[in-house]
A and B are shown apart, each in its own frame.
Chain A
């Protein structure tokens, strides 16, 4: 037993101290008729070296290729320093920092995370992270309802990642709240239809930019429309894009949310990822999730604690701002290290690479007969390609060792994403493969 300590002799000794004659006597707390009388039906135990061998074989059954895939998760470069530091047991095996004296390392790192997210987004205040991008949108919607007391209607752009929209619909399904989806025209939200959907009962308007199709939205126009109707504006953004694109704060949005996976978190088949949520100062007491606050200790030293806990479930129970009682601490730490080591110049370079290479690839692909861009709107690192036969296109890419997609079943479109990791040689080989 690799992780157990007690020897038979010690077990005996401990039972004596407890004052029972056998382990069964202790287990008798569970009524006999409820005890399982057979061993669990589980695979046999395996030693480390045996299981490692099997897992290597299992891993080989997954065919991961050079990645041009997008749709909400991206193959960005992760500097070694992120893995090295986040791999320190002092960080990843620590618990929620309820005892501040024993947790100043994590608390300060999360406070720095909050500050970095504020700097990145141009918003006033960030929480210490949520589960991932889809629940971050849902929590922002709930937060907007708490701020303006409008609980019957929210408006989402069809450009918001469909999995995020499905998550919002699930979250709201028992609350009698109408979810109105405003359509997309030529890749971006149809602003006329969006404006028509917003009324004085609308809690918030959610837009994503760059949106699910990779296109950059006129977020300032959306936040203006929301404001005019007394609704809050929520923007879902791509943190990497903020190396070059205008920030949520520049657009005047009320709540900014994101999937933060691109900031140093590996793809790992969809999670754990990082939910980012930042907002204006005036809404801070309506925020969901954990917040770290700076304060002084009894010797006057600057230090950090969990802040505004009276919003949270362990105090407020059914009146809490959210049922969340974890943050994504380890992923927030990874984002903190990532942004620290990239700095403003590094993030700008990464974003510029993505944008340049995506445009280079798009231009080259569009020279192939039967291949064109689905939309003409400006895009950042991802675009929808219109092809005659999606399956044939994907098959050619796979055969040459490239992953692409996801495909959009509706109209022979397929998403293509390009990160700074894709070399010129890979881009050219991909074009050649699908020609």
Chain B
């Protein structure tokens, strides 16, 4: 059923003179050379492909069939929270008055938009237990960076110079990358034996030169850091701040709050926890929530609310008094933030807690059922995800985590996250999310059990049924081809 004629490159499909859409110009319009000096005008139109609309449609529709997606497949990708993306959100985000609103429109003309954004700030503050919220960061990584700049401004304001940002070995790569970008020195703890932060080791690195301790909780092994309160206390005792990487918030909604377990700052990944679609890698949205004493340093604008003369609320935009400045143009990734708003308004407090409860239930069920084939080295129970190890299979039969991941594609399941975190050998990180049925989980378990019995040589050759098989990534890195080559020659 594959249509490889239509999945040729757009540039191969091009034929001179074909048109996809037209914008006929008035016959009596002035020539551009009458409007602009000759030296600013291009000598020819850019070398784009020439295609009809049906060419374009057939090309991309056939390409789309070469993707797995949440709409079509189970996607147990650990740390990514690949949950269902409600269709209603797509319709509402496009409403006239929402999807077509210009970012420079004045606050008096955008009261509806500002109301939704204000209520988003409030709801995200409540869920975090950290009341001051900036919706500006475009993604989780930018949220981390923004919060670290907030921390730097806070300490400077207090007349303190603190250079260190500390994080566990299992931290997401964005943590150290963001800390370096914000001008801090990175201190990474050694991997611990039991999957939790080693409090004694941490104590050796925490002093008055420590600005921030960054921690994901539940951590990247899917375990709730049981000593988090003690850890936070240790940091607060030396005047440092605790940053909660909110990538795993899907585990704790309404159950516990970062602000309650000691966090001073956090980011959300709206595209994970609150169903912004991943879009094959973005857009995301990474709003941050912080304690009141950090509110003045947040990037602006922030939405404010006051009582109007007629008793109705009036929303406005304001920049906090000691703001670090903006971290991007315009307000934020509003289209994604609103999908989160729609989700929270749909679920309410009870529904939101149920999301986390079912996410935890699904993960523990899957973990238990896979125990014999893919044991989990750390933790008897888990939160919303777990990290299994294929070490036993590798030692006994030479089957690696990558082999299992690739073979799962043949069974119609997206692969789990593999080889992360680095602290588990042959790691397979699985996060089923709450939006999968028991039937799907059982089918996935049966697939893994079947794979574990298959011929290792056959698994090395997997996947067998996908449009392409094990691309040569080494060649791609050695001599990267990043542009259609016929265009390079031209």
Given contacts A294-B481, A341-B51, contact A1 B138 (CB under 8 A): no
Given contacts A116-B48, A268-B98, contact A307 B477 (CB under 8 A): yes
- Taking CB atoms, residues of chain B closer than 8 Å to A64 are 96-97, 100-102, 105, 109
Decide: A330 and B283 in contact? CB cutoff 8 A. Answer: yes
Given contacts A268-B334, A326-B284, contact A405 B41 (CB under 8 A): no
Decide: B281 and A85 in contact? CB cutoff 8 A. Answer: no
Q: B450 interface residue, CB < 8 Å from A?
A: no
Chain B positions 115-172 with a Cβ under 8 Å from a chain A Cβ: 115-116, 119, 123, 126-127, 138-142, 144-145, 149, 152, 172
Decide: B328 and A134 in contact? CB cutoff 8 A. Answer: yes
Q: A410 interface residue, CB < 8 Å from B?
A: no
| Chain B residue at minimal CB-CB distance from A163 | B329
Per-residue contact bits, chain B 79-105, to A (CB 8 Å; 1 contact, 0 not): 010111110101111111111111111
Within the complex, what minimum Cβ distance (angstroms) separates B463 from chain A?
5
Within the complex, what minimum Cβ distance (angstroms) separates A390 from chain B?
12
Indicate which residue in B7, B102, B123 contacts A75 across the interface (CB closer than 8 Å): B102
Bound-state Cα–Cα, A44 to B361, Å: 24
Q: B226 interface residue, CB < 8 Å from A?
A: yes
Decide: A2 and B346 in contact? CB cutoff 8 A. Answer: yes
Bound-state Cα–Cα, A386 to B288, Å: 40
Per-residue contact bits, chain A 310-349, to B (CB 8 Å; 1 contact, 0 not): 1011111111101111111111010001011111111111
Bound-state Cα–Cα, A308 to B116, Å: 40
Within the complex, what minimum Cβ distance (angstroms) separates A413 from chain B?
14
- Taking CB atoms, residues of chain B closer than 8 Å to A98 are 417
Task: Indicate the member of B45, B71, B383, B436 with the most A CB atoms within 10 Å.
Answer: B45
Given contacts A42-B349, A295-B476, A341-B53, contact A267 B101 (CB under 8 A): yes
Decide: B23 and A30 in contact? CB cutoff 8 A. Answer: no
Decide: B332 and A271 in contact? CB cutoff 8 A. Answer: yes
- Taking CB atoms, residues of chain A closer than 8 Å to B86 are 2-3
Indicate which residue in B101, B172, B487 contacts A119 across the interface (CB closer than 8 Å): B487
| Chain B residue at minimal CB-CB distance from A310 | B477
Indicate which residue in A36, A135, A266 contacts B100 across the interface (CB closer than 8 Å): A266
Given contacts A81-B56, A163-B329, A340-B51, contact A330 B346 (CB under 8 A): no
Bound-state Cα–Cα, A84 to B490, Å: 32
Indicate which residue in B30, B179, B257, B348 contacts A318 across the interface (CB closer than 8 Å): B179
Indicate which residue in B94, B127, B405, B488 contacts A99 across the interface (CB closer than 8 Å): B405
- Taking CB atoms, residues of chain A closer than 8 Å to B56 are 81, 85, 337, 340-341
Decide: A51 and B173 in contact? CB cutoff 8 A. Answer: no
- Taking CB atoms, residues of chain A closer than 8 Å to B35 are 355-356, 359, 378
Decide: B67 and A106 in contact? CB cutoff 8 A. Answer: yes
Bound-state Cα–Cα, A128 to B255, Å: 38
- Taking CB atoms, residues of chain A closer than 8 Å to B305 are none
Decide: A345 and B50 in contact? CB cutoff 8 A. Answer: yes
Decide: B476 and A135 in contact? CB cutoff 8 A. Answer: no
Q: A214 interface residue, CB < 8 Å from B?
A: no
- Taking CB atoms, residues of chain B closer than 8 Å to A169 are 325
| Chain B residue at minimal CB-CB distance from A60 | B97
Decide: B104 and A48 in contact? CB cutoff 8 A. Answer: no
Q: A260 interface residue, CB < 8 Å from B?
A: no
Bound-state Cα–Cα, A398 to B109, Å: 10
Decide: B365 and A345 in contact? CB cutoff 8 A. Answer: no
Stretch of A65-73, A192-200, A224-232, A366-374 contacting B (4+ beta carbons < 8 Å): A65-73
Q: Is the interface of B mostly helix, strand, loop or mixed?
A: loop
Decide: B477 and A308 in contact? CB cutoff 8 A. Answer: yes
Decide: B104 and A405 in contact? CB cutoff 8 A. Answer: yes
| Chain A residue at minimal CB-CB distance from B347 | A45
Indicate which residue in A96, A270, A347 contacts B331 across the interface (CB closer than 8 Å): A270
Bound-state Cα–Cα, A226 to B227, Å: 54
Q: A40 interface residue, CB < 8 Å from B?
A: yes
Indicate which residue in A73, A101, A246, A307 contacts B330 across the interface (CB closer than 8 Å): A73
- Taking CB atoms, residues of chain A closer than 8 Å to B47 are 119, 344
Chain B positions 302-325 with a Cβ under 8 Å from a chain A Cβ: 324-325
Indicate which residue in B66, B92, B105 contacts A69 across the interface (CB closer than 8 Å): B105
Decide: B48 and A244 in contact? CB cutoff 8 A. Answer: no
Of the four ranges (under 10, 10 to 19, 20 to 34, 35 or more), the interface on chain A belongs to 35 or more
Interface residue count on the B side (C-beta < 8 Å): 198
- Taking CB atoms, residues of chain A closer than 8 Å to B327 are 135, 167, 170-171
Indicate which residue in A51, A266, A269 contacts B346 across the interface (CB closer than 8 Å): A51
- Taking CB atoms, residues of chain A closer than 8 Å to B463 are 101
Task: Indicate the member of A1, A3, A259 with the most B CB atoms within 10 Å.
Answer: A3
Q: B435 interface residue, CB < 8 Å from A?
A: yes
Bound-state Cα–Cα, A327 to B26, Å: 39
| Chain A residue at minimal CB-CB distance from B276 | A272
Indicate which residue in A62, A89, A108, A333 contacts B70 across the interface (CB closer than 8 Å): A89
Bound-state Cα–Cα, A403 to B473, Å: 50
Chain A positions 83-128 with a Cβ under 8 Å from a chain B Cβ: 84-85, 87-106, 108-112, 114-116, 118-120, 122, 124-126, 128
Chain A positions 277-332 with a Cβ under 8 Å from a chain B Cβ: 284, 290-299, 301, 303-305, 307-310, 312-320, 322-331
| Chain B residue at minimal CB-CB distance from A61 | B112
Per-residue contact bits, chain A 396-435, to B (CB 8 Å; 1 contact, 0 not): 0010000101100000000000001000100000000000
Decide: A131 and B229 in contact? CB cutoff 8 A. Answer: no
Q: A353 interface residue, CB < 8 Å from B?
A: yes
Per-residue contact bits, chain B 458-490, to A (CB 8 Å; 1 contact, 0 not): 000101001111111101110011111101100
Decide: B345 and A103 in contact? CB cutoff 8 A. Answer: no
Q: B205 interface residue, CB < 8 Å from A?
A: no
Q: A385 interface residue, CB < 8 Å from B?
A: no
Decide: A105 and B63 in contact? CB cutoff 8 A. Answer: yes
- Taking CB atoms, residues of chain A closer than 8 Å to B66 are 103-105, 108
Bound-state Cα–Cα, A416 to B274, Å: 37
Decide: A17 and B368 in contact? CB cutoff 8 A. Answer: yes
Decide: B409 and A95 in contact? CB cutoff 8 A. Answer: no
Decide: A55 and B95 in contact? CB cutoff 8 A. Answer: yes
Q: B68 interface residue, CB < 8 Å from A?
A: yes
Within the complex, what minimum Cβ distance (angstroms) separates A48 from chain B?
5
- Taking CB atoms, residues of chain A closer than 8 Å to B362 are 6, 14
Decide: B335 and A23 in contact? CB cutoff 8 A. Answer: no
Q: B176 interface residue, CB < 8 Å from A?
A: yes
Q: A376 interface residue, CB < 8 Å from B?
A: no
Task: Indicate the member of A69, A131, A359 with the most B CB atoms within 10 Å.
Answer: A131
Q: B376 interface residue, CB < 8 Å from A?
A: no
Chain B positions 337-356 with a Cβ under 8 Å from a chain A Cβ: 342, 344-355
Indicate which residue in B110, B149, B177, B183 contacts A317 across the interface (CB closer than 8 Å): B177
Decide: B57 and A60 in contact? CB cutoff 8 A. Answer: no
Decide: A60 and B329 in contact? CB cutoff 8 A. Answer: no
Given contacts A36-B256, A343-B51, contact A6 B438 (CB under 8 A): yes
- Taking CB atoms, residues of chain A closer than 8 Å to B84 are 3
Bound-state Cα–Cα, A111 to B7, Å: 13
Decide: B65 and A90 in contact? CB cutoff 8 A. Answer: yes
| Chain B residue at minimal CB-CB distance from A350 | B23
Q: A132 interface residue, CB < 8 Å from B?
A: yes
Task: Indicate the member of B39, B326, B334 with the most A CB atoms within 10 Å.
Answer: B326
- Taking CB atoms, residues of chain A closer than 8 Å to B330 are 72-73, 132, 163, 269-271, 273
Indicate which residue in B88, B112, B357, B438 contacts A58 across the interface (CB closer than 8 Å): B112
Q: B49 interface residue, CB < 8 Å from A?
A: yes
Indicate which residue in A29, A34, A337 contacts B60 across the interface (CB closer than 8 Å): A337
- Taking A31-B226, A89-B69, A125-B482 as known contacts, 18 extra A-B pairs with beta carbons closer than 8 A to each other, sorted by chain A number, are A2-B86, A14-B362, A30-B256, A34-B261, A40-B126, A41-B126, A87-B90, A88-B61, A94-B67, A99-B405, A103-B67, A268-B98, A269-B103, A273-B330, A293-B481, A294-B482, A329-B283, A356-B29
By Cβ-Cβ distance, the 3 closest A-B pairs, closest first, are A270-B330, A89-B71, A330-B279
The 20 sampled A-B contact pairs (Cβ below 8 Å) are A18-B368, A29-B226, A29-B382, A51-B342, A58-B115, A100-B468, A101-B468, A102-B414, A115-B487, A119-B48, A132-B138, A161-B329, A170-B149, A171-B327, A247-B42, A271-B335, A307-B476, A323-B178, A328-B281, A349-B22
